[in-house]
Structure 1
Amino acid sequence: MTACAIEPNAANGGDDPTPDAPFAITADCTYAARLARSGDSWFPERWTLDGPEPYAVPLPAHQPEEPGTQVQPMADGRVLIRRPTQGRHAFSLLYPTGPGTGELPLGAVECRDEDTVLRLLPPAPCGRRAYAVAAGPRSTALWLVAGGAFGPERLAEIPGRCSGGVWLDRTGRMLALDREVGGRTKTVVVDLERGGEVSPLLQIAAGSDDRLLLAAPDSGLLLISSDAPSPGEPRLGWGVLGSTLPVRFPESLRLADRALTPFAIQPGQVLVPESCAVALRVDGPFGSWVGVWRPVDRRLHQLAAPAGWLAGSGLWTEDGVLRLPYATEAEPCGVARVAVPAAGGEHRPSGTAGTASDVLEPEPPQPVALRPVPLQQAPLARL
């Protein structure tokens, strides 16, 4: 099993022909989808990742897509597309039909308030359903937009304006959202089997903004952003789902003039969260590259990315191989195997990129008395 991530791409100084198009990967890492570009036109493209070599299938519709269109792969190989038009969001499933593209309309969601923003959530663990949130000024609607019986279905209304979106389990029951209420952002959990029941997840300090960035269901490792240790300065930290230990904010994840965004956690590391490898996108003044970090190592390894990397996207295998998708004019569909330092600092023997630099974290002082309460409370303790 592998772990995937969905992050917006950005220009990375390489040959990426679609630097602004998001790249989405199914939870089982079988398929991916993005908007590809041909000249000034955009069209959906599905990637198959589980074969001997990756390959792409174009899925153009009867007219080019707008840049704001979202696509998401489904586990059966179809691609969900969201087309926004004047407050109306139309959803369809696209699939290849020989030389053409088949399209199954699913229905639409109306967002009459111009301040309401609708977006797809990361692919659900099952791969058969797809969800979206419509975040308004005072509340957020959670929608099932694919996989239901009668088209888009409104599942819950959540007080507050929600962003983010992280699945906490492999069944697609527990969804974490970052909710803004009263000027502060805290992560909450939405239980889809209890009618959208909401419970708190991250409450590190009363006056802090706390967001959940990534979660690994196997190990419980959480990657967190919070300004609790440095008011006004969001820091990367880590904790463990269900643990009573405090969140830690490593100095090795705090770099001057560089932004770090985690995008994938190594799966399969049951009960050993500190050994999980985390892949991060590193953005600096001269482009984007890759960082690899483990809690147990307390250091950040910085690695060169392949040319044309779809920056901020990638996947891990259980045995610790990092795979990064890329697209160039010469090779429009490729996945690079990157040489990753193993636990303890030794490099694995496979890959295409070398180490750029390491940032070593000094021995930590006394543990910070901050806790990701109430991580240990039900229903999360049953996950």
Structure 2
Amino acid sequence: MAGGDESMTVCAIEAAAGDGGPTWSTPPGHGAFTITANGAYAARLAGSGDALYVERWTLDGPEPYAVPLPLAQPEERGTPLLPLADGRVLVGRRADGRRRTFSLLYPTGPGTGELVLGAVEAPGSEDLVLLPPSPDGICAYALCVGPDTSTLWLVAGGAFGPEQVAEVKGRCSGGVWLDRTGRMLALDRSLDGGPVKAVAVDLERGGEVTPLLQITEDSHDRLLLADPDSGLLLIRSDAPSPGHDRLGWGVLGSLLPVRFPDCLRLDDAAVTPFAVQPGQALLPEGCGVALRIDAAAGSWVGMWRPSARRMHQLAVPAGWLAGAGLWTPEGVLRLPYATPGTPCGLAALEEPDDPPVPEPGPAGAGTAAGTGAGTGTGAFKVCRPVPLQQAPLTDRRPAR
């Protein structure tokens, strides 16, 4: 989710290819690279073999640089990390089959300081996941998924260690911030084994849940990215082709249909958005979107704007930490990479100079609900008249 005024990045939690292609999900642990919402810091597990340690990157200076944060005992492969805006790194370690402990690491002179926050019990270690960095840069949240209920925990930023902040009925996944304050969180929820629908959770109202996205009654509709400046939403849904996921885009608060561009469909490759250009207030069609493309030959980057009918596919630097990157407001995509010669690098990619081609048909053209037919861009009307604007993204009076 976006945060700050200079840059933006979002780490996708889950993704799937369209039309029966390969699937991909962000692997936790060694190799995973998470960037703060304001783009200032990042963290990953570094090292080799079993000698793994936390490494913090500083990204907002003239040149990126890495600070190792080793402790006496190495970190386990798969340990989730989350950098904070003050430069500390949250670590969630597996304690036993039902507990995960949380600590904050920070550089202190020649060594590493550690502040132990506490522990959270979960049915299984894989049932508790860290959510993407909060846009306020201070708080960190984890999602614990049970058989019938999902629980949100504030694991950093509270007054007395980890504390439960909300319970959401159903099995939830994903996690996308919808505003710049860390109040509104979107989750992908399934109720009683039904289809997955994105919902908005208001953390200032005790986890009040409201519908966010429903394209058809039976479709699986997931929110992958959201940009609060422009309102652009990146969506994955099987509404156009039941059983086959497609990438689409919409605008928060708009009555226009979700559109599913054909240029985002690739044969034998998974396409996953991971960053949106910030600072494009009220201009969702002009936002640059960075997409990770995974195929048998490897991973590379796609660059696309909703106003264009074409996705540019670009080579990435050697050692790219795949799935990570951030945009500048000026439209430059910065990709982190690490090689033996350059252990901490940041490459800049600019979109090729190719003027966008308007989508065919009038703005908002689509099909009747549930027909599955449409224009070449796959416009698809929602089955309800007001799906996207139901999220309470404006200030509201406190509950009495």
User: Structure 1 residues 258, 382: closer, same or farther in 2, change over 3 A?
Assistant: farther
Give the superposition deviation at 1:7: 4.7
> How many residue pairs end up in the alignment?
359
Partner of residue 105 from structure 2, selected from 94, 97, 114:
94
1:3 alignment counterpart: 8
1:176 equivalent in alignment to 2:169? no
1:320 alignment counterpart: 331
CA distances 1:91-112 after superposition (whole Å, capped 9, x unpaired) = 011001111100000000012x
1:42 equivalent in alignment to 2:55? no
What secondary structure does 2:82 align onto? strand
Q: 1: distance between equivalents of 2:158 and 2:321?
A: 31
1:369 alignment counterpart: 381
1:249 alignment counterpart: 260
The one-letter code sitting in structure 2 at the alignment partner of 1:162 is C
What secondary structure does 1:94 align onto? strand
1:352 alignment counterpart: none
1:227-376 matched pairs, under 5 angstroms: 227-342=238-353, 344=355, 364=376, 367-370=379-382, 373-376=386-389
* TM-score calculated relative to the size of structure 1: 0.89
The one-letter code sitting in structure 2 at the alignment partner of 1:369 is K
The one-letter code sitting in structure 1 at the alignment partner of 2:209 is V
Structure 2 unaligned blocks of 5 or more: 1-5, 15-27, 358-373
* TM-score calculated relative to the size of structure 2: 0.86
Q: 2: distance between equivalents of 1:134 and 1:320?
A: 36
User: Structure 1 residues 8, 48: closer, same or farther in 2, change over 3 A?
Assistant: farther
2:152 alignment counterpart: 142
1:68 alignment counterpart: 78
Q: 1: distance between equivalents of 2:353 and 2:87?
A: 33
Q: Kindly indicate whether the alpha-carbon contact (under 8 Å) linking 1:78 and 1:94 is maintained by their aligned counterparts in 2.
A: yes
Q: 2: distance between equivalents of 1:250 and 1:169?
A: 26
What secondary structure does 2:86 align onto? coil
User: Structure 1 residues 27, 342: closer, same or farther in 2, change over 3 A?
Assistant: farther
What secondary structure does 1:2 align onto? coil
Q: Kindly indicate whether the alpha-carbon contact (under 8 Å) linking 2:257 and 2:381 is maintained by their aligned counterparts in 1.
A: yes
Structure 1 unaligned blocks of 5 or more: 10-17, 347-361
User: Structure 1 residues 5, 379: closer, same or farther in 2, change over 3 A?
Assistant: closer
Q: 1: distance between equivalents of 2:261 and 2:13?
A: 25
1:98-177 matched pairs, under 5 angstroms: 98-111=109-122, 113-114=123-124, 117-177=127-187
What secondary structure does 2:291 align onto? strand
Q: Which of 38-47 and 223-232 deviates more?
A: 38-47
RMSD of Structure 2 on Structure 1 (CA)? 2.2
2:18 alignment counterpart: none
What secondary structure does 2:390 align onto? coil
Percentage identity across paired residues of the two chains: 65
Q: Kindly indicate whether the alpha-carbon contact (under 8 Å) linking 1:21 and 1:34 is maintained by their aligned counterparts in 2.
A: yes
Give the superposition deviation at 1:77: 0.7
Give the superposition deviation at 1:68: 1.9
1:204 equivalent in alignment to 2:215? yes
Q: Kindly indicate whether the alpha-carbon contact (under 8 Å) linking 1:239 and 1:246 is maintained by their aligned counterparts in 2.
A: yes
Give the superposition deviation at 1:379: 1.5
Q: Kindly indicate whether the alpha-carbon contact (under 8 Å) linking 2:215 and 2:383 is maintained by their aligned counterparts in 1.
A: yes
CA distances 1:312-368 after superposition (whole Å, capped 9, x unpaired) = 00000001000000011111110000132256169xxxxxxxxxxxxxxx9737843
Q: 1: distance between equivalents of 2:388 and 2:331?
A: 27
What secondary structure does 2:175 align onto? strand
The one-letter code sitting in structure 1 at the alignment partner of 2:388 is L
1:356 alignment counterpart: none
Q: 2: distance between equivalents of 1:315 and 1:342?
A: 20
User: Structure 1 residues 248, 278: closer, same or farther in 2, change over 3 A?
Assistant: same
Q: 2: distance between equivalents of 1:378 and 1:345?
A: 31
Give the superposition deviation at 1:181: 1.5
1:28 equivalent in alignment to 2:38? yes
Q: 1: distance between equivalents of 2:304 and 2:219?
A: 25
Give the superposition deviation at 1:39: 3.7
